[in-house]
Amino acid sequence: MATVLDGKGVSERRLERLREAIDSSGLHPRLATVLVGDDPASALYVRMKHRACEQVHIGSIHVTLPEDATTAQVVETVRRLNQDPEISGILVQIPMPVAVDQEAVIGAVSPAKDVDGFHPCNLGRLFSGRPRFSPCTPAGIMTLLEEYGIDPAGRRAVVIGRSIDVGRPMAALLLNADATVTVCHSRTRDLAAVTREADLLVAAVGRPRFVTGDMVREGAVVVDVGTNRVDGKLMGDVDFEAVRERAAAITPVPGGVGPMTIATLMENTFAAAGRQACGPAP
């Protein structure tokens, strides 16, 4: 039976340590969130992030723009936050309405305040092996593995999904940690044959219970990034009960990767405040 990687427990411990570090630092980190439209799921995620800010004594403000906001309006909002010396980090909640040029908005965020790690400069630094801010979900996964003593070095890692927010940066972080990495996607042939080779399998495909027991090798570490709602219930991309019989370790949904994402956002915001206190970023 697999060890369940308790992301909720790990995140709570890290947030407690972070609060102590912030209180003793003399810094006053502050996070700004920007939400375009009134998508209920996005609004919930933003509220969760602000609750985490309160928990660790990070100040926060929230800016809401209407569903019909133009790209220019959203970019101008971001630029004002860039220029505000009281703001350490900026998070633009995605996805945005289809009428908004999401890439233009993300590109408008100052790389020094891009605590979500999606700016092209920060992604470029990550892929070059010199990360400043890494996207919070992949970075949180790496932290969770470290907390459980799971070293990716030398392991065959397989990532299912090639999105720019999870799959690709996850592969880069694993490669930087000396894993041998394969990225699978919708065009991968004989996917199960590839996943069965994995010592470390990360599922970020966005399809409930997509990864079944016969797709996982005995003794693998399985990380489930999925957050799918089916009949009002949250479930991951992995068939948890079937896979835990074969895996050595597995993350649950909920309580696995999600809390680590928020903890990493808080850590990135504190790190941004520290860097800004030292002067302009190189």
By C-alpha distance, which of 262, 258, 260 is closest to 237? Answer: 258
Q: What does each C-alpha distance from 191 to 69, 185, 196, 212 come to in angstroms?
A: 41, 8, 9, 12
Q: How far apart are CA 27 and CA 86, in angstroms?
A: 11
From 49, 165, 239, 276, active-site residue: 49
Q: Is 93 annotated as catalytic?
A: yes
Q: How far apart are CA 96 and CA 11, in angstroms?
A: 27
From 6, 93, 113, 199, active-site residue: 93
From 6, 113, 114, 116, active-site residue: 116
Q: Is 116 annotated as catalytic?
A: yes
Whether 63 contacts 31, CB under 8 Å: no
Backbone φ, ψ for residue 214 (5° rounding): -75, 0
Q: Is 113 annotated as catalytic?
A: no
User: Which single residue is written with the structure tokens 């996943």?
Assistant: 195
Q: How far apart are CA 145 and CA 216, in angstroms?
A: 18
Q: Give the active site residues.
A: 49, 93, 116
